[in-house]
Amino acid sequence: MKPELLSESAIQQQMTPLPGWQREGTELVKEFRFTSYLAGIEFVRRVGGLAEAMNHHPDLFVGWRKVTVRLTTHSAGGLTRLDFELAGQIASVEAVPTNPA
C-alpha cells in the first residue's frame, strides 16, 4: 500500500519537533557535522540500520566531517509520515556519541 502524501498543514505540524531539519521542495533535509570523518561514517551506518528496519531509505551524502540526509517518499511523490518517523529516529542516533575506533 502506497503511503499517503501529507497536507501542507500536517507537514508544518510534523516539522515543529524536528530542529535543524529544513524542507526543500518535496524533501526533508538536514546536514549533520562531526568531529571526524569516521564519526560521520558511523552515523551513516546507524542511520542505514534504521532505514533498513523501516524499509524507507534516505539519500545520504557523505563529505568531510559532515553527512547530509535527504528524506522523501519517492513512491508517493513527496512527504509522508514515513519521512517524519525516520527523521525522528535519526535524531536519536545523533544524540548517541559515536566511537569510530
Give tens-digit pLDDT for 24-33: 999 999 999 9
- Who wins on pLDDT, 96 or 83? 83
Domains held by the chain: number: 1
Among the listed residues 55, 79, 75, the one whose alpha carbon sits nearest the alpha carbon of residue 5:
79
Q: What share of the chain is helix, strand, coil (3-state, %, to 5)?
A: 40, 25, 35
Q: Is residue 13 part of a domain?
A: no
pLDDT in tens, 72-90: 999 999 999 999 999 999 9
Give the structural domain span for 83. 20-95
- Residue 11 has phi, psi (to 5 degrees) of -65, -45
Is residue 62 a contact partner of residue 32, using CB atoms and an 8 Å limit? Answer: no
- Residue 78 has phi, psi (to 5 degrees) of 170, -155
Is residue 89 a contact partner of residue 50, using CB atoms and an 8 Å limit? Answer: yes
Q: Is residue 4 part of a domain?
A: no
Q: Calculate mean pLDDT across residues 22-42.
A: 96
Q: Is residue 71 part of a domain?
A: yes
